[in-house]
């Protein structure tokens, strides 16, 4: 019994220290034709230390091919602030929606702070992005740390004036975060409890030497 409890505590500990994910895909598979800039605002999880990757679902209408890039900014009161924390290589979008993964290394984030992952067209044309809003009529969607998608009709992220869509709307977006190297007190308690149970279980089942 103690061994089972120890294993359970170990699993809970690993879960508490695991990387966090924001996933705003919802159950819908709609699309929106984006202007020059379109992106997802999100809040970094409370135990996240760094953003490691994010995914947009990108395509192009009318069987055309359009180039784009992505960037990541801290988000202020009404839009991105400062310089880009990350800017991707230029990619091409064509056909239907496909998941586009951007591995960003390890970008330090402040837990609870807002960030803006955006898609910028690099040549004229309307990119198609996946839009997730599975709310019943009159009820806003709620996703874990997903907030809203935001668009601007100029390619300058910092100088642009943004149109904020309703908080019930999110782009289909996935963000992956590395956990903090300093565990929360609750996680430390789980670690201590798991180690204690493992030690006591090991003593209980140790064979006696005659």
The whole domain housing 30 covers 19-181
pLDDT value of residue 29: 60
pLDDT value of residue 127: 86
- Domain CATH code at residue 116: 2.60.120.820
Residues 187 and 146 in one domain: no
Query: What's the start-to-end Cα distance of the chain, in Å?
Result: 26
pLDDT value of residue 11: 41
Residues 66 and 166 in one domain: yes
State the total domains in the chain: 2
Residues 158 and 192 in one domain: no
Residues 11 and 27 in one domain: no
pLDDT value of residue 141: 44
Mark out the alpha helices in the chain (DSSP H runs). 2-16, 185-205
pLDDT value of residue 155: 74
Measured distance CA(43)–CA(94) in Å, rounded? 30
pLDDT value of residue 5: 40
pLDDT means over runs of 10, the chain (210 residues): 45 53 75 83 92 94 87 89 95 92 97 93 82 54 66 81 67 92 55 53 54
pLDDT value of residue 86: 97
Q: What is the pTM of this model?
A: 0.74
Residues 55 and 67 in one domain: yes
Residues 109 and 23 in one domain: yes
Half-sphere exposure of 115 (CA within 13 A, CB side): 27
CA nearest neighbour of 69 among 157, 175, 174, 171: 157
Residues 59 and 83 in one domain: yes
pLDDT value of residue 79: 82
Residues 11 and 23 in one domain: no
Residues 43 and 120 in one domain: yes
CA nearest neighbour of 155 among 78, 99, 71: 71
pLDDT per residue as tens digits for the range 194-204: 555 545 555 55
Residues 199 and 174 in one domain: no
DSSP-based three-state secondary structure for 119: strand
Residues 88 and 165 in one domain: yes
Residues 37 and 48 in one domain: yes
pLDDT value of residue 35: 77
């Amino acid at each position: 019994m103690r061994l089972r409890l120890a294993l359970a505590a170990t699993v809970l500990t690993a879960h508490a220290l695991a990387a966090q994910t924001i996933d705003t895909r919802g159950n819908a598979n709609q699309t929106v034709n984006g202007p020059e800039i379109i992106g997802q605002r999100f809040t970094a999880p409370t135990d996240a230390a760094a953003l490691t990757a994010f995914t947009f679902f990108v395509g192009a209408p009318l069987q055309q091919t359009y180039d784009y890039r992505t960037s990541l900014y801290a988000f202020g009161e009404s839009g991105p602030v400062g310089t880009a924390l990350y800017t991707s290589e230029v990619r091409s979008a064509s056909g239907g929606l496909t998941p586009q993964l951007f591995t960003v290394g390890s970008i330090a984030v402040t837990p609870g702070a807002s960030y803006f992952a955006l898609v910028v067209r690099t040549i004229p044309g309307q990119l198609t992005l996946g839009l997730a809003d599975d709310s019943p009529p009159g009820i806003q969607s709620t996703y874990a740390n997903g907030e809203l998608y935001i668009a601007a009709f100029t390619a300058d992220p910092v100088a642009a004036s943004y149109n904020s869509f309703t908080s019930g709307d999110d782009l289909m977006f996935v963000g992956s975060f590395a956990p903090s190297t300093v565990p929360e007190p609750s996680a430390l308690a789980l670690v201590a409890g798991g180690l204690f149970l493992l030690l006591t279980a090991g003593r209980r089942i140790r064979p006696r030497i005659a």
